[in-house]
């Protein structure tokens, strides 16, 4: 793990037992399926998501691990059944197929905060995704907790790598990857980089055709929930390449919107004309307006990066 913990992800609690039966919720709003041969309302580099989405789902974990380092629970297998606590709603939008810069084989961007990520999306006529949009794209048409199904598998997405410890300038000094000297920062960023090129794993693809949602890079989103901890209107989804939950539902709230890190990136979304826009909770904090600007115009090229570790964390915490 990094010598200074990145922060534990916080998400929907995993009940140990099924809750008592509740009254059946009203039927979901209808989902409009495109007619055969009809052009989809998204450009080729974006996936079209139109589905019935449950904002609050109840699932039963069958194999739970408590990770003491990050103080979080990691579920390795879910029961193949779930219950929506409330009403499903239609959600329809376009989402980048890959982590920004949204090109297969490209290195995802790093070290951008939430305002810079939002500004970069807006410079391309897009925006950051709502957290619920991100979740819906990840869970796919089958609404599974992982994009590939019900059981956690670190061979399908880039997760469970053993971290490389960042270097500081002193015991309480600044990490080298924050250095003002670009050469120093880039050398350290490359040394720490355990990512894979976007779309490198065909197995890490949701049913909507969106890649690398769990793992690889953590991704900025717009929180559509009431603010928690330091996050205000922002959140991070998916986890990065380490031993974290790597599910579709959890979100990290422990960082403010100005946070930058070596495995934090983003992807963009866009509204679909004629479809209702996703509405956040009325208790959510509205994000500030930003001036469109491309903060990622220079492609990221890591130098001699190690990539994923040869061994992976097992649920025992030992190498597998």
Query: pLDDT tens string for the chain (320 positions)?
Result: 443 334 433 333 333 333 333 334 444 454 444 544 456 799 999 999 999 999 999 999 999 998 887 788 899 999 999 999 999 999 999 999 999 999 999 999 999 999 999 999 999 999 999 999 999 999 999 999 999 999 999 999 999 999 999 999 988 899 999 999 999 999 999 999 999 999 999 999 999 999 999 999 999 999 999 999 999 999 999 999 999 888 999 999 999 999 999 999 999 999 999 998 999 999 999 999 999 999 999 999 999 999 999 999 876 555 55
* pLDDT reported for residue 68: 81
* pLDDT reported for residue 171: 87
- Is there a contact between 52 and 89 (Cβ–Cβ < 8 Å)? yes
* pLDDT reported for residue 25: 43
* pLDDT reported for residue 37: 45
- Is there a contact between 297 and 102 (Cβ–Cβ < 8 Å)? no
* pLDDT reported for residue 316: 58
- Is there a contact between 104 and 200 (Cβ–Cβ < 8 Å)? no
* pTM given for the model: 0.88
* pLDDT reported for residue 67: 82
* pLDDT reported for residue 70: 76
* Ordered DSSP codes for 87-105: --EEEEEEEESSSTTT-TT
Tokens of 241: 């390449």
* pLDDT reported for residue 38: 56
CA distances from 235 to 32, 77, 113, 251 (A): 29, 25, 11, 6
Tokens of 283: 């208790």
Tokens of 243: 């031993």
CA distances from 109 to 83, 100, 139, 268, 280 (A): 36, 6, 24, 12, 27
- For residue 150, the tally of other CB atoms under 10 A from its CB is 17
């Amino acid at each position: 793990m990094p010598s200074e913990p990145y922060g534990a992800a916080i998400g929907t609690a995993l009940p140990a037992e099924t809750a008592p039966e509740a009254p059946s919720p009203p039927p979901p709003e209808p989902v409009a399926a495109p007619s055969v041969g009809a052009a989809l309302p998204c450009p080729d580099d974006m996936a079209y998501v139109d589905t019935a989405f449950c904002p609050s789902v109840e699932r039963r974990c069958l194999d739970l691990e408590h990770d003491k380092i990050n103080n979080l629970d990691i579920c390795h297998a879910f029961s193949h059944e779930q219950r929506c606590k409330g009403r499903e709603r239609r959600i329809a939008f376009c989402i980048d197929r890959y982590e920004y810069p949204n090109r297969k084989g490209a290195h995802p961007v790093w070290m951008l905060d939430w305002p810079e990520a939002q500004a970069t999306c807006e410079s391309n006529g897009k925006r950051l995704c709502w957290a619920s949009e991100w979740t819906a794209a990840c869970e796919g048409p089958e609404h599974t907790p992982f994009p590939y199904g019900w059981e956690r598998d670190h061979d399908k997405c880039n997760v469970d790598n053993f971290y490389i410890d960042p270097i500081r300038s002193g015991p309480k000094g600044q990490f080298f990857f924050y250095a003002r000297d670009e050469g120093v920062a880039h050398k350290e960023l490359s040394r720490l980089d355990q990512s894979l090129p976007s779309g490198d794993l065909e197995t890490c693809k949701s049913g909507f055709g969106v890649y690398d949602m769990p793992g690889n890079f953590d991704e900025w989103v717009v929180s559509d929930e009431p603010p928690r901890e330091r996050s205000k209107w922002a959140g991070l989804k998916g986890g990065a390449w380490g031993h974290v939950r790597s599910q579709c539902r959890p979100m990290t709230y422990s960082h403010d919107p100005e946070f930058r890190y070596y495995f934090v990136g983003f992807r963009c979304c866009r509204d679909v004309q004629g479809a209702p826009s996703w509405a956040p909770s009325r208790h959510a904090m509205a994000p500030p307006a930003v001036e469109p600007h491309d903060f990622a115009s220079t492609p990221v090229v890591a130098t001699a990066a190690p990539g994923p570790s040869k061994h992976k964390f097992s649920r025992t915490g030992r190498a597998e």
